[in-house]
């Protein structure tokens, strides 16, 4: 169910800061019609840290209903508070999500036993869990032994790999059963990850070029890595430009440049628009490298 290209959906906002469900619905339709394989609302790219529980509920329900069974939905439900993560996962399950993406506890920085207890408690909700390991955001990498144990116990069914530790990914794929799903969490490392055995990506860049990210992953899935590498090289400038500042600032501004009548460059504090030089650099990549009509 969760292989190929998933899109880590932005959460569009209106000028008054409320969620722009019209823009979100348009984006969901665009992504599905472009051929992506699944949707991931309320993740890091969706500015989930600034969404209330009520807003989580509304965004997940809206995404599931708008998708209408056309693609599965993996809802972001992570928190550094286990009770809160359980509640968000319960909300996701009640709203029809097919799985939950649960980032490792940030700020608290628990040890291995704390991480094990955290994920076991969330798994009691009964929704398939993908562990999200992104130490540059959380401050602490999830030890490989913890991932192995959670997978062996059936607590997690997959991993969003964003640690950049290729040796860890090799060890996990060699150790874990074939049904365990490793997904890249970094567009620039997707092809490398798939060569090592990952099954796809939870992508930011797919907002901008969904068909090309899909083409790259499909070629990698069919083991045509030479052709996939060619597409990767074509996409590399946008992969890099979308992280010119902290995600999701660049991708939301890219969409606002491409579709100014639909998506606004509005963020929830403490996220703010790109600095002027970063904005210009991003616009230049879209205009000069990819030939888009950007003002």
Supply 207's token pair: 């907002």
pTM over 0.85: yes
Strands 99-103 and 129-133: parallel
Question: Which residues carry out catalysis?
Answer: 132, 160
In CATH, what number does 4-224 get? 3.20.20.70
CA dihedral 22, 24, 26, 292 (to 10 degrees): 120
CA distances from 69 to 1, 23, 281 (A): 12, 20, 38
Q: Are 152 and 120 in contact (CB under 8 A)?
A: no
pLDDT per residue as tens digits for the range 134-191? 998 888 899 999 999 999 999 999 999 999 999 999 999 999 888 999 999 999 999 9
Q: Are 161 and 169 in contact (CB under 8 A)?
A: yes
Q: Where are the beta strands (DSSP E) in the chain?
A: 4-8, 38-40, 74-76, 99-103, 129-133, 158-161, 181-184, 200-203
Q: What's the pLDDT band for 1 if we cut at 50, 70, 90? A: confident
Report which secondary-structure segment, H or E, holds 251: helix 249-258
Residue 279 CB neighbours (<10 A): 20
């Amino acid at each position: 169910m969760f292989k190929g290209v998933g899109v880590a959906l932005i959460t569009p906002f209106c000028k008054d800061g409320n969620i722009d469900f019209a823009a979100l619905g348009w984006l969901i339709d665009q992504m599905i019609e472009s051929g992506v394989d699944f949707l991931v609302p309320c993740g890091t790219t969706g500015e989930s840290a600034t969404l209330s529980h009520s807003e989580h509920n509304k965004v997940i329900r809206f995404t599931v209903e708008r998708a209408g069974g056309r693609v599965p939905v993996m809802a972001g439900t992570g928190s550094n508070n286990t009770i809160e993560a359980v509640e968000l996962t319960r909300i996701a399950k009640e709203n029809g999500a097919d799985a939950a993406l649960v980032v490792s506890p940030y700020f608290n920085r628990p040890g291995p036993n704390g991480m094990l207890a955290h994920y076991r408690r969330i798994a009691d909700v009964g929704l398939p869990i993908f562990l999200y390991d992104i130490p540059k955001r959380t401050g602490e990498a999830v030890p490989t032994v913890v991932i192995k144990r959670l997978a062996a116990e059936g607590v997690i069914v997959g991993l969003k790999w964003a640690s950049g530790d290729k040796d860890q990914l090799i060890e996990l794929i060699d150790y874990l059963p074939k049904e365990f799903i490793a997904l890249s969490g970094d567009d620039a490392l997707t092809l490398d990850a798939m060569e090592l055995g990952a099954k796809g990506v939870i992508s930011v860049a797919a907002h901008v070029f969904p068909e090309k990210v899909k083409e790259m992953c499909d070629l990698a899935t069919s083991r045509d890595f030479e052709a996939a590498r060619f597409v990767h090289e074509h996409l590399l400038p946008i992969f890099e430009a979308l992280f010119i500042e902290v995600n999701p600032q660049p991708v939301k501004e890219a969409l606002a440049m491409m579709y100014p009548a639909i998506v606004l460059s509005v963020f929830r504090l403490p996220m703010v628009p790109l600095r002027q030089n970063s904005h210009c650099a991003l616009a230049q990549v879209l205009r000069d490298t990819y030939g888009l009509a950007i003002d």
